[in-house]
Structure 1
Amino acid sequence: MADNNSLVDGQALMRKINDQVILVQVLVTLFLCINFLLITTFFMKHFFYTTMRYILFANTLLSDCLILILTNTMLIMSYFRFTIQTWLCLIVFIVSSLYNFVTPVTLTTMTLERFVAICMPLRHAELCSTRRALHCILIIHGLSSIPCIVFLSVFFASATHSLYTQNRICSVEMFTIHRWQGHLRSAISQFYFLIMFITIVISYIKIMKVAKAASGENKKSTWKGLRTVALHAFQLLLCLIQLWCPVIEAAVLQIDLMLYIDVRYFNYITFYLAPRCLSPLIYGLRDDKFFLALKYYALCGLYKNKSLAFFT
């Protein structure tokens, strides 16, 4: 009788995992299709790839696409218990760790660009040129690589040579040999996000002061920029909560396996997928010029508007 109950529980568990994996695949596919459409729109108009805020937006989209593909691949491999050698998993970990930081650092840079546009309009053309945008992208990748370099330096010093040739299920936890390494990684990440969050809050306060003093069309534009910064802050908050997910999941795993699976998929959808779908909302749909171009290409040129002529 106990064996039959175990069999039923096992079948129910597998069915739940199947449903959750299918749901994740649908969401990932949907977000990737939207992002690829936005990236295509970006490259179709000269105005977009010569304007700093759109260049940074495209950088965010490419980063989000890469993160979605990598994390989803790791999720499927974990579900099917597919093992790979540690050195190959290490490459995946390096890329995913780097671009896990690229998105929030880019969000902070985009907030600063909005701050300059609204609070320092006379210097915006000088400070936010196409050349400076490319320099910003290099700086973003440089800053994003520091946490990964620190964490991997500790791992290389602690790992044995035989570890690199072992076949394992690829996960972040396999690179945390000692508990303090996890604390170090979390501390560095939270320091980064604290600096970024403070930057966004200060920018929000400065823009709010300008918004109250503005009038007419300037007031409307300024308040729209203020809402954009607020959305960046919310997006960054979701990314910050993502850092606490492994700790919560480890605690829940000690209580109940079914609850652990539910919490893990909830965290993945809420704190991994949701922040990545906010980028299209903030700049892809709320931005008038980008939305017009997106509508034009999504409808294969059937939609035409005179406004498109202003940024061709």
Structure 2
Amino acid sequence: MQLLQVVCLLSSRQFMETSRYVLFAHMLINDTLQILSSVLLFLCVMAQVKFAVVLCVPLLVISTATFQNTTLILAAMSLERYVAIFYPLQRPAAWRSERIWIMVVSLWFISFVFPIIEFALKSGNPAVLGLTTPVLCKATTINSSLIQTLFRAAVSVLFFAVVAFIILFTYVRILLETRKLRQDRLSVRRAMHTVLLHGFQLLLCILAFTSPITESLVVLHTVWTREDIAFFNYFCFILVPRFLSPLIYGFRDQVLRSHMVKNFLFCSKNIKPFFKH
């Protein structure tokens, strides 16, 4: 689904000349990288596969950066709806379609800076001796020092606090605007609902940090193994929010939905049967 939507967005000039579609394509690409990297790391941890630190660190950086980048994209998409409602004719230069790539590059830069700084800090784990040391690739193994734990917690709180404030601010402003406008209320209400969905997605991302609490509760009330509990948390708090993005935006947008249907029908007509009667 995500790959189909990315192809539809990148293949149409109409979408690439609209800021919100560019940000949506950026979100799909980011979520795809997040799913691929996190699934690979999760399967390696579950199978107890160890490999060199030099291979583990880039995977952890990509997984962490794309996870944090999701929240930044939600904030950017909420601000884009805010700008579209309050500045429909004279948009700021940074939010125009020909310059939105500056915003996209900035989001990627910010999301990668903090994980790199975290991994650059010295690890307190004596088992990690060098770049060729085989380790179980997870963040608690590589980043086990106290300063790295505090840095990771501070960055997470900062990211989610800033994004939550932006989403709440844009939602309240758009909500107040619906009471003032007598015309074009439909587009304003759609923008308000979109921002509300951004808040719901942010809540799902925040729930990923509650995995230690949910693991404790599940252990007390069920007889699940540790592997089953880890898979439950990973599926509910990592995979599900990423799969919701194409469903929320892809099927709610009539233009993108119709374009996807046309591409799907075109591809299905071009598929020739392997066996001929």
Given the two structures, how large is their TM-score scaled by the length of structure 2? 0.87
Give 5+ residue unaligned stretches, structure 1.
1-33, 304-312
User: Is 1:283 matched up with 2:249?
Assistant: yes
Q: Matched residues in 1 for 2:231 and 2:124: separation?
A: 33
Q: State, as a whole percentage, how many aligned pairs show the same letter.
A: 25
Which of 60, 84, 88 lines up with 1:93 in the alignment? 60
Number of residue pairs aligned between Structure 1 and Structure 2: 268
Which of 209, 224, 227 lines up with 2:190 in the alignment? 224
One-letter code aligned to 1:248 = I
Q: Matched residues in 1 for 2:122 and 2:219: separation?
A: 26
One-letter code aligned to 2:213 = I
Q: 1:165 to 1:250 in 2, by over 3 A?
A: farther
Q: Matched residues in 2 for 1:134 and 1:172: separation?
A: 31
- Displacement of 1:221 after TM fit? 0.8
Is this contact kept in 1: 2:124–2:145, CA < 8 A?
A: no
- Displacement of 1:285 after TM fit? 0.8
State which drifts further: 219-228 or 94-103: 94-103
| Equivalent residue, structure 1, for 2:79 | 112
- Displacement of 1:37 after TM fit? 0.6
User: Is 1:68 matched up with 2:35?
Assistant: yes
| Equivalent residue, structure 2, for 1:50 | 17
| Equivalent residue, structure 2, for 1:234 | 200
| Equivalent residue, structure 2, for 1:248 | 213
Q: 1:160 to 1:169 in 2, by over 3 A?
A: closer
Q: Matched residues in 2 for 1:45 and 1:205: separation?
A: 33
Q: Matched residues in 2 for 1:39 and 1:271: separation?
A: 23
- Displacement of 1:259 after TM fit? 5.0
| Equivalent residue, structure 1, for 2:50 | 83
Given the two structures, how large is their TM-score scaled by the length of structure 1? 0.78
Q: 1:254 to 1:271 in 2, by over 3 A?
A: closer
One-letter code aligned to 1:51 = T
- Displacement of 1:73 after TM fit? 1.1
- Displacement of 1:161 after TM fit? 7.4
State which drifts further: 66-75 or 179-188: 179-188
- Displacement of 1:126 after TM fit? 4.3
Is this contact kept in 2: 1:102–1:141, CA < 8 A?
A: yes
State which drifts further: 234-243 or 152-161: 152-161
Q: Matched residues in 2 for 1:301 and 1:181: separation?
A: 49
SS at 1:84 equivalent: strand
Which of 263, 268, 271 lines up with 1:297 in the alignment? 263
User: Is 1:123 matched up with 2:90?
Assistant: yes
Which of 105, 117, 120 lines up with 1:150 in the alignment? 117
SS at 1:123 equivalent: coil
Deviations 1:198-240 (A, max 9, x none): 0000000001111122234x10111011000000111011112
State which drifts further: 207-216 or 260-269: 260-269
| Equivalent residue, structure 2, for 1:200 | 167
Structure showing the higher helix proportion among its residues? 1
Is this contact kept in 2: 1:155–1:175, CA < 8 A?
A: no
Q: Matched residues in 2 for 1:302 and 1:151: separation?
A: 47
Q: Matched residues in 2 for 1:87 and 1:251: separation?
A: 33
Q: 1:153 to 1:249 in 2, by over 3 A?
A: farther
For the aligned residue pairs, the C-alpha RMSD in angstroms reads 2.5
Q: Matched residues in 2 for 1:242 and 1:36: separation?
A: 24
SS at 1:168 equivalent: strand
Q: 1:121 to 1:84 in 2, by over 3 A?
A: same
Deviations 1:97-155 (A, max 9, x none): 11111221011101100000012212237442223210001110122123213312323
